[in-house]
Structure 1
Amino acid sequence: MSVDTTEIILVNESDEEVGSGGKLWVHQQGLLHRAFSVLVFNNNNELLIHQRAINKYHSGGLWTNTCCGHPNVAEEIKAAAERRLGEEMGFTCQLDYLFKFQYKTSFENNLTENEIDHVFTGIYNHDFEVNPAEVLAYKWVSVPEIIDEVAEKPDNYTFWFKEILRSEAFLEFVALNHILL
């Protein structure tokens, strides 16, 4: 589906569905909508991040979490995250819900992300082949390494990824899973 015809879910501040709209129109209007972000780690406690394809409708060329997107109308959020992981990164894995947060940011092309973002985590240790229409590059990085990189060059990363990395829920997750060791 193209960005122009995809219908995504509009929500209120309580993350309750209130309607739907075309993906591009929703971002042009800055309407609050449901989204997800996926963080996949390997057994070396490294996080898989990717550089968004240059031609993405916003944030092209920026580095971000493993995968992100929007559930389609009538699509359960976890199923959408699993679907999109396969579409973008070329693999699927068991995903576990971590937390959700709300953010709003505008882009130079007059689009606005105004999302309630549901964050999922997973583990994957096999080969995969990314979708070049979605992913320019990818790499596995340690959490301390990515936190340092984002601090040094914040303009190279998506807004929502930076919000995830500084969230209390993410920091608790890495501590509980001994990822910083």
Structure 2
Amino acid sequence: MITQEVILVNEKDEEIGTMEKMEAHRKGLLHRAFSVFIFDKQGRMLLQQRALNKYHGALLWTNACCSHPYPGEKTHNAAERRLAEELGFVTGIQEIFSFIYRADVENNLIEHEYDHVFAGEYENEILYNEAEVAKVDYRKLTDIKKDIEINPSQYTSWFKLAFPRIEKWWKEKYNNVTVNIQFE
């Protein structure tokens, strides 16, 4: 089995070391991560339902993709890499904010991440990796918000924490109009 290391960081996102990914999650140590949010031209958000075989969060709905950069890898590059690996496409993304969260998840694991949040646009065919993703769906932000309120256990912890900020960012940036988003 191939092991993956994560980048341990302090609360300023300064690197303080590396550790095997599962060990970092068992110990609940703060490490660098990213979450990518993808929108279509109608302003709908792309959600993925995590694959059944995921070590935590199986079959939960979440943002387009999320993961950890490898030691020595730029977070932006890692986000682009995982988009291609999980969803089969590349598109321009930009970092819009970051936040720290800690959440107990199943299998006695703890997510404690300095999460860099990226956003981008994509409208074409999605050829997702079935080892990572069970299904995908574009949804209106208002529908997602209502569903989180009704079915919170169907969503990942980090998605529920990031969603209000994404929704606020979207409303401030695009003022609820249909736009052609231009990301670099």
Aligned counterpart, 1:159: 157
Task: Give 2:182's aligned residue.
Answer: none
Aligned to 1:121: 119
In 2, Cα distance between equivalents of 1:37 and 1:118: 6
> Structure 2-normalised TM-score?
0.93
Rate the CA distance shift 1:76–1:176 in 2: closer, same or farther, 3 A: same
The answer to whether the 8 Å contact 1:6/1:22 transfers is yes
- 1:39 Cα deviation from its structure 2 partner: 0.3
Q: What SS does structure 2 have at the residue aligned with 1:79?
A: helix
Alignment of 1:30-179 (within 5 A): 30-167=28-165, 170-179=167-176
Once the two structures are superposed, residues 107-160 of structure 1 have per-residue CA deviations (whole angstroms, 9 ceiling, x without a partner) of 231100000100000001111200000000110001111111111100000000
Query: What is the alpha-carbon root mean square deviation over aligned residues?
Result: 1.4
In structure 1, runs of 5+ residues without a counterpart are none
- Matches of 1:148 and 1:178, distance apart in 2: 19
Q: State the Cα distance separating 1:180 from its structure 2 match.
A: 6.7
Instruction: Indicate conservation of the 8 Å contact 1:35/1:70, yes or no.
Output: yes
Whether contact under 8 Å (1:144, 1:180) holds in the other structure is no
Shift of 1:93: 0.3
List structure 1 runs of 4+ shifted beyond 4 angstroms.
Answer: none
Instruction: Give 1:161 deviation, angstroms.
Output: 0.3
Shift of 1:174: 3.0
Give 5+ residue unaligned stretches, structure 2: 179-184
Deviations 1:3-53 (A, max 9, x none): xx1011000111100000111111011110000000000111110001000
Describe the shift of the 1:58–1:52 C-alpha distance in structure 2 as closer, same or farther (beyond 3 A): same
Alignment check: 8 A CA contact 2:68 2:78 kept:
yes
Aligned residue identity for 1:162: K
SS at 1:162 equivalent = helix
Q: Is the 8 A contact 2:38 2:121 kept in 1?
A: yes
Quick check: 2:7–2:19 contact (8 Å CA) kept in 1? yes
Residue of structure 1 equivalent to 2:5: 7
Aligned length: 178
Query: Percent identity at matched positions?
Result: 43
Q: What is the DSSP-based 3-state SS (H/G/I as helix, E as strand, rest coil) of the residue aligned with 1:120? A: strand
